[in-house]
Amino acid sequence: MRITDLVWCGLACVSCAAYADGPADRRPTDPVTVTSVSGPASAPLPVEALLTTTRILGVAHSNDGSKLAYTSTASGRLNLWIMNVDGSGAQQLVTNNDRQMSAHFTRDDRAVVYSQDRGGNEYYDIYVVPAAGGEPRNLTNTPDVSETVDEFSPDGKLLAVSIKQKTTPSTDLAVMQWPGGTIRQLTHESDPKASWREDAWSPDGRFLYATRSIGIDDAQIYRVDVTTGATEPLLEHTGKQLITVADVSHDGRTLLITSNAKGGYENAALLDVATRKLRWVTDTQWSANGVAFTPDGGTAVILLNADGRISTRFVDLKTLHASERGVPAGLNVPAASPTPFLPDGSMLLSHEDSSHPQELYRLAADNALTQITHNANETLQHIVLPRSQLVTYRSFDGLLISAFVWVPFNLKRDGTAAAVVMPHGGPTGQTTDAFNGRAELLASRGFVVITPNVRGSTGYGMEFQNANVKDLGGADLKDEIAGVEFLKATGLIDPKRVGIWGGSYGGYMTLMAIGKTPAVWSAAVDEYGILNWLSMLEHEDPRLQEYEKSLLGDPVKDRAAYEASSPLRYIRNETAPLLVLQGDNDIRVPREEAEQVVSILKGEGRTVDAVYYPEEGHGFVKREHQRDELTRSVAWLQQYLQSAQ
């Protein structure tokens, strides 16, 4: 028996039997086991039901535990709201077209501090607004510097802040004097590949624990003196490792950290600050990330990502006994800052699954679970939607690829259904078993949907994550196509009715797919996808330039890799009707990328349409734009995949 079994399964972990011990223990899925549930016919999910289902993020609780501040979509914008901890009395604090993020209460709970950008451009200022309501004040007002709120010191006199100059790639740490507003920068990064991130305050307020990341596969943790700015590395390592701090014990002696030192797989551990000795809390080849210590310090809260299915585990630090404390299966994530625990010891938890949207819950010390929010639109509260099915298949070279599949109800195995592949963004990202409104929109209209986690995805170890470096749109595209072959083998789909719909790197993969393998695809939707990595490098934010270089190498020495990985080389081969959707203020994938695609294909006389959304960045957050995006995309796929004979 492996140590993994002892930690996660052999000690009464309720649901571990549902998972393999790690990526290597998966087995290919028999395509015939992918089934359609029989039952009463269901109506198509209305787009409006998704748009009027409130999504909340960035939850922070007041110091007295009575209030929650959060970003909400209830107004059709990503605006700041506040409510009582039991979910009552929801009130919009900020009414603005721009998005508010990273809310934190001041020490006296009289005000909420937050970050806000301009027109989706991701350059943030720091604002404050009275918790009882009132006029927000911009405390920084620096259009060429992005300042984001991190966390107040234990005494509330300092606010940790992340700072990034518009013209530089690195993010640095700073502290803002409260309530005076003076900002003092602590780190001054000179390596363009490196950036700093605040993780936690020491209990005495003397230090910040922080992560200095270099590229996408190396990170070190530091203790930063907030008076002098002196930085002290805490866990030296050779080679490349990713290490971050999750929490600090109440006595300040122990850090709960996450490290991938065990073969490139993320695990949680305890670090003694004085001796620098490490004690592992988990040993798994899935992703086990530290989150927080419980208020009594005897338990570590761990987030386990097993093949895209995410659960919260409570690990007794004496016995390493792990429990889910009776929380129902689904995607369960601790959901508040600076700690998920309220003063009474209860914990705030976000819960959703593949066919039910996110809601907030409160898990009491006695394990009683109480739902706080009721955000689902009335239609979503009553409609029955297909659940995802987790599958594993072999790609062209035998590598195992995991994916989630949605199959419409009452679908016959007669090879006539249309199918859509949804590649995720990143590429260092992962599709998890969360509520997927786009997949449900399509599945409820008769489409089979597959969302592969191809090589380059996170969640399967560092070797897998790096498997597409300098080969973007190469083997990872073949992994997407192997997903199409898997769907063909189910006997459910028509090979002539296959489409692809993705955003960001998923949009890039869409363009690469229809250019390199045109015979596979009959329709496509590209949202803010990359056409030319070299032109991207000229126009994107400096931090993202460094990210691109970490994936493709030096643009001079490795120019061949940039050119071979750019859809620009292949796009004139496409035959699939293409819809292009783009935000005007996108600093990640600038508008020029979309304009190039449209210009080339119109010049070739191809079927292409494009929409550019004003005051939108990387992803569309204004409700009227989301309505147009989803309605237009679904109609496009229906027209060219379901109406075509």
Q: The CATH number of the domain where 592 resides is what? A: 3.40.50.1820
Cβ atoms of residues 552 and 533 within 8 Å = yes
Cβ atoms of residues 57 and 348 within 8 Å = no
Segments of the chain with pLDDT less than 70: 1-20, 644-645
Q: Which domain holds residue 403?
A: 386-547+576-642
User: What token pair was written down for 368?
Assistant: 């009683």
CB contact set of 538 (below 8 Å; sequence gap of 6+) = none
Spatial distance between the Cα atoms of 484 and 513, rounded to a whole number of angstroms: 12
Write down the residue that tokens 């079927």 correspond to: 607
**Can you say how many angstroms the Cα of residue 245 is from the centroid of all Cα atoms in its chain?**
19
Q: What pLDDT was estimated at residue 8?
A: 25
151: in domain: no
Neighbours of 556 (CB within 10 A): 7
Write down the residue that tokens 């550019």 correspond to: 612
Q: What pLDDT was estimated at residue 21?
A: 81
Phi then psi for 561, rounded to 5 degrees?
-65, -40
Spatial distance between the Cα atoms of 514 and 118, rounded to a whole number of angstroms: 34
Strands 493-503 and 417-421: parallel
222: in domain: no
Number of H helices, E strands in the chain: 12, 36
Strand partners, 323: 314
- Per the structure, how many domains does the chain have? 1
Spatial distance between the Cα atoms of 581 and 475, rounded to a whole number of angstroms: 26
Cβ atoms of residues 160 and 113 within 8 Å = no
Q: What pLDDT was estimated at residue 644?
A: 57
Cβ atoms of residues 172 and 147 within 8 Å = no
Q: What pLDDT was estimated at residue 2?
A: 25
Phi then psi for 393, rounded to 5 degrees?
-140, 160
Neighbours of 64 (CB within 10 A): 12
Q: Which H or E element spans position 513?
A: helix 505-516
Spatial distance between the Cα atoms of 325 and 497, rounded to a whole number of angstroms: 45
CB contact set of 317 (below 8 Å; sequence gap of 6+) = 270, 281, 297, 298, 299, 300
Q: What pLDDT was estimated at residue 41?
A: 74
Cα angle, residue 362 at apex, residues 305 and 112 outer, rounded to 5°: 95
215-219 long-range contacts, CB within 8 A, separation 24+ = 215/546, 215/550, 216/428, 216/465, 216/547, 216/550, 216/551, 217/242, 217/462, 217/465, 217/466, 217/550, 218/242, 219/243, 219/244
Q: What pLDDT was estimated at residue 539?
A: 85
Cβ atoms of residues 133 and 119 within 8 Å = no
Spatial distance between the Cα atoms of 481 and 403, rounded to a whole number of angstroms: 12
Phi then psi for 30, rounded to 5 degrees?
-70, 120
Q: What pLDDT was estimated at residue 20?
A: 46
User: What token pair was written down for 535?
Assistant: 């032109």
Whether the link from the prior residue into 408 is cis, omega within 30° of 0, is no
Spatial distance between the Cα atoms of 449 and 334, rounded to a whole number of angstroms: 29
User: What token pair was written down for 393?
Assistant: 């298949």
218: in domain: no
Q: What pLDDT was estimated at residue 42?
A: 74
What is the edge-to-edge ordering of all strands in the sheet holding 194-201? 194-201, 207-214, 218-225, 231-233
527: in domain: yes
| 344-361 per-residue burial string, b: 16 or more CB within 10 A, e: under 16 | eebbbbbbbbbbbbbbbb
Nearest one of 566, 568, 610 to 591, comparing CA atoms: 610
272: in domain: no
353: in domain: no
Cβ atoms of residues 359 and 374 within 8 Å = yes
Write down the residue that tokens 């073949």 correspond to: 478
User: What token pair was written down for 35?
Assistant: 């089934």
Neighbours of 179 (CB within 10 A): 15
167: in domain: no
DSSP helix/strand/coil, 558:
coil
Spatial distance between the Cα atoms of 337 and 60, rounded to a whole number of angstroms: 5
CB contact set of 637 (below 8 Å; sequence gap of 6+) = 418, 420, 442, 447, 499, 501, 523, 525
471: in domain: yes
397-402 long-range contacts, CB within 8 A, separation 24+ = 397/475, 397/478, 399/455, 399/467, 399/479, 400/23, 400/26, 400/28, 401/452, 401/453, 401/454, 401/455, 401/479, 401/482, 401/483, 402/23, 402/26, 402/307, 402/308, 402/452, 402/453, 402/460
Cβ atoms of residues 248 and 200 within 8 Å = yes
pTM of the model: 0.92
